[in-house]
Structure 1
Amino acid sequence: MGIKALGYVVIETAKPAEWDRFLTEFVGVMRAADAPDGAALYRVDDRVFRLRIQPGTREWFVAAGYEVTDRATLDTLAVAVAAAGRPVEWASAQEAAGRGAEALFHTTDPAGNGLELYCGDARTADPFVSPIGVPGFVTGDMGLGHAVFSAPNFDETIAFHRDVLGFHETDMPRFNLFGPDGPSMGFAFLHADNGRHHSIAFGEGPVPPSGAVHIMLELPTLIEVGKAHDRMKRFAYPESATLGRHVNDETTGFYVQTPGGFDLEIGCDSLIIDPSSWVTTRHEGISVWGHEWAWQKAMKDQQGEQA
Structure 2
Amino acid sequence: MGIKALGYVRIETAKAEAWDHFMTQVVGVMRAVSPCDGVAAYRIDERPFRFWVERGDNDRLVAAAYEVGDAGELAALRETIAGLGREIVEGDADGARARGVAEFFATSDPSGNGLEFFWGDARDDVAFVSPAGVSGFVTGDMGMGHAVLATPNFDEAHAFYKAVGFGDTDIPRFRFSDDPGDPGMGFAFMHAANGRHHSVAIAEMPVPPSACIHLMLEMKTQSDVGKCHDRMRAHKVPESATIGRHINDQTFGFYMQTPSGFDIEIGADPLVIDPANWTPTAHLVPSEWGHVWAWQKALEDSKGEQA
TM-score, normalised with respect to structure 2:
0.98
Distance 1:136 1:180 in 2: 43
1:254-273 alignment, distance < 5 Å: 254-273=254-273
RMSD of the alignment, in Å?
A: 0.8
Which residue identity is paired with 1:252?
Answer: F
Query: What's the offset of the Cα at 1:38?
Result: 2.4
- The separation in 2 between residues aligned to 1:148 and 1:179, in whole angstroms, is 25
Aligned ranges 1:53-72 → 2 under 5 Å: 53-72=53-72
Matches within 5 A, 1:71-82: 71-82=71-82
Q: Does the residue aligned with 2:303 lie in a helix, a strand or coil?
A: helix
Hey, what's the Cα distance between the residues in 2 that align with 1:293 and 1:10?
A: 26
Alignment of 1:261-300 (within 5 A): 261-300=261-300
Q: Matched residues, percent identical?
A: 57
Quote how far apart the aligned CAs of 1:36 are: 2.0
Give 2:232's aligned amino acid: M
Corresponding residue SS for 1:285: coil
Q: Hey, what does 2:155 align to over in structure 1?
A: 155
In structure 1, distance between residues paired with 2:183 and 2:100 = 42
SS in 1 for 2:278: coil
Q: CA deviation at 1:184?
A: 1.3
Q: Extract unaligned runs of 5+ from structure 1.
A: none
Contact 2:12–2:58, Cα closer than 8 Å, also in 1: yes
Question: What secondary structure does 2:125 align onto?
Answer: coil
Gaps of 5+ in 2: none
Corresponding residue for residue 168 of structure 1: 167
- CA distance, structure 1, for counterparts of residue 35 and residue 69 of structure 2: 25
Instruction: Report the counterpart of residue 118 of structure 1 in structure 2.
Output: 118
Q: Counterpart of 1:180? A: 179
- What per-residue deviation string (whole Å, max 9, x for no partner) do you get for residues 93-114 of structure 1? 1101111110000000001100
In the TM superposition, 1:86-105 aligns within 5 A as: 86-105=86-105
Helix, strand or coil for the counterpart of 2:147? strand
- Give the equivalent residue in structure 1 for 2:15: 15
Deviation at 1:193, TM superposition (A): 0.2
The answer to whether the aligner puts 1:204 opposite 2:228 as a matched pair is no
Q: Deviations over 1:81-103 (max 9, x none)?
A: 00100011111111011111100
Q: Specify the alignment match of 1:227 in structure 2.
A: 227
One-letter identity of the residue aligned with 1:166: G
* Deviates most, 177-186 or 220-229: 177-186
**Secondary structure of 1:284 counterpart:** coil
CA apart distance, 1:305:
1.1
- Structure 1 position 180, deviation (Å): 3.5
Per-residue displacement from partner, 1:92-150 (whole Å, max 9, x unpaired)? 11101111110000000001100000001011111111112111100000000000001
Count of residue correspondences: 306
User: What code does the residue aligned with 2:249 have?
Assistant: D
Structure 2 CA distance for aligned equivalents of residues 132 and 290 of structure 1: 25
8 A contact 1:214–1:264 mirrored in 2: yes
Asked if structure 2 preserves the Cα contact closer than 8 Å seen for 1:175 and 1:186, the reply is: yes
Q: What TM-score, normalized to structure 1?
A: 0.98
Counterpart contact for 1:177–1:183, Cα < 8 Å: no
Structure-1 separation of matches of 2:206 and 2:297: 22
| In structure 2, distance between residues paired with 1:35 and 1:14 | 19
Q: Give CA-to-partner distance per residue, 1:223-255, whole Å, 9 cap, x none.
A: 111100111100110000000000000000000
Aligned to 2:107: 107
**Which amino acid in structure 2 is aligned with residue 275 of structure 1?**
P
Residue pair 2:175, 2:285 contacting (<8 A) in 1 also = no
Deviation by residue 1:181-215 (Cα, 9 ceiling, x = unmatched) = 43311100000000000000011010012100000
In 1, the alpha carbon distance for the partners of 2:213 and 2:166 equals 19
Per the alignment, residue 195 of structure 1 pairs with 195
2:193 counterpart letter in structure 1: D
Deviations 1:48-104 (A, max 9, x none): 100000000010110000000001100110011001000111111110111111000
Q: Which amino acid aligns with 1:180?
A: D
**Cα distance in structure 2, aligned partners of 1:157 and 1:180:** 27
Distance in 2 (CA, whole Å) between partners of 1:35 and 1:118 is 17
Q: Which amino acid letter does the alignment assign opposite residue 2 of structure 1?
A: G
Q: What is the SS of the residue equivalent to 2:21? A: helix
Q: Secondary structure at the match of 2:232?
A: helix
User: 3-state SS of the aligned residue for 1:157?
Assistant: helix
| Distance in 2 (alpha carbons) for counterparts of 1:36 and 1:227 | 32
